């Protein structure tokens, strides 16, 4: 458990250093077992965060199991996804600039680069609900049943992974796609890959476990 808490802390610091979230915004969690997760606390600047600050929360009751701080205000969004998806072991929530710009515009990120295939065949935009609410938790979990990244309207990004490293990679990859789509628009518009082209890449990823 100490190792998982340490990793959650390290990934949260990496997220802050990469400017994927401003101040104390954003949050990071990892599954400990079928019943519990380790999640970042609310309101602690990431440069001061240490593994002892990470909170352990019950996935089903959402109660704190151990830890001396209050868990992230977005805990319901994390626990709801873990409760519905046993294949997910890490979650990163960011407010990264370009991806959030698309979320603010209510526009989805398209298949502008084959790397999208690691996240799923599309990136849904979850309708706006106030942060930290049950309504947001339910809407986000609903949108993430078959894909691993969603935009949250007027809010940010929710990125899932088979482990926390993969969730972090997806948080970076969706920001990269958002930047690409934005830049390509200025060059006359991106040429979007077809569903069959994406399906072929997905098959390749599954076969080799590498992202090319």
Selecting among 51, 74, 110, 175, the annotated active-site residue is 74
Taking the complex as a whole, the smallest distance from the CB of residue 21 to Zn ion amounts, in Å, to 8
**CB-nearer residue toward Zn ion: 124 or 156:** 156
Taking the complex as a whole, the smallest distance from the CB of residue 156 to Zn ion amounts, in Å, to 5
**CB-nearer residue toward Zn ion: 59 or 152:** 152
Instruction: Show the site string, 21-50: x = touches Zn ion by CB under 5 A, - = not.
Output: ------------------------------
Structure tokens given for 185? 């628009």
- Give yes or no for a contact between 46 and 56, defined as CB atoms under 8 angstroms apart: no
Question: In terms of Cα–Cα distance, which of 112, 90, 81, 80 is closest to 178?
Answer: 112
Give the HSE-up count for residue 84: Cα atoms under 13 Å, Cβ half-sphere: 18
Which 131-170 residues touch Zn ion, going by CB under 5 A? 156
How many Å apart are CA 167 and CA 138, to the nearest integer?
Answer: 20
> Sign (positive/negative) of CA torsion 25, 139, 135, 181?
positive
Residue closest to Zn ion when measured from CB atoms = 156
Q: Is 203 a catalytic residue?
A: no
Taking the complex as a whole, the smallest distance from the CB of residue 95 to Zn ion amounts, in Å, to 6
Cα→Cα distances 177→102, 192, 202, Å? 11, 12, 16
Residues serving a catalytic function are 74
Q: Which residues bind to Zn ion, rule: CB under 5 A?
A: 156
């Amino acid at each position: 458990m100490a190792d998982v808490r340490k990793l959650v802390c390290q990934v949260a610091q990496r997220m802050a250093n990469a400017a994927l979230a401003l101040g104390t915004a954003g949050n990071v969690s990892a599954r400990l077992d079928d019943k519990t997760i380790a999640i970042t606390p609310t309101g602690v600047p990431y440069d001061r965060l240490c593994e002892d600050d990470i909170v352990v929360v019950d996935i089903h009751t959402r109660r704190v199991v151990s830890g001396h701080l209050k868990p992230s205000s977005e805990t319901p969004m994390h626990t709801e996804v873990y409760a519905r998806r046993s294949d997910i072991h890490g979650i990163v929530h960011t407010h990264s600039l370009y991806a959030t710009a698309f979320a603010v515009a209510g526009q989805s990120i398209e298949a502008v680069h084959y790397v999208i295939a690691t996240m799923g065949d599309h990136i849904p935009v979850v309708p706006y609900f106030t942060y930290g609410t049950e309504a947001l938790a339910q809407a986000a979990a609903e949108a993430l049943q078959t894909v691993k990244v969603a935009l949250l309207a007027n809010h940010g990004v929710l990125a899932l992974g088979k482990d926390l490293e993969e969730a972090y990679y997806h948080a970076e990859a969706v920001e990269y796609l958002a930047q690409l789509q934005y830049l390509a628009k200025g060059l006359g518009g991106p040429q979007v890959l077809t569903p069959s082209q994406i399906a072929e890449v997905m098959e390749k990823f599954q076969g080799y476990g590498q992202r090319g």
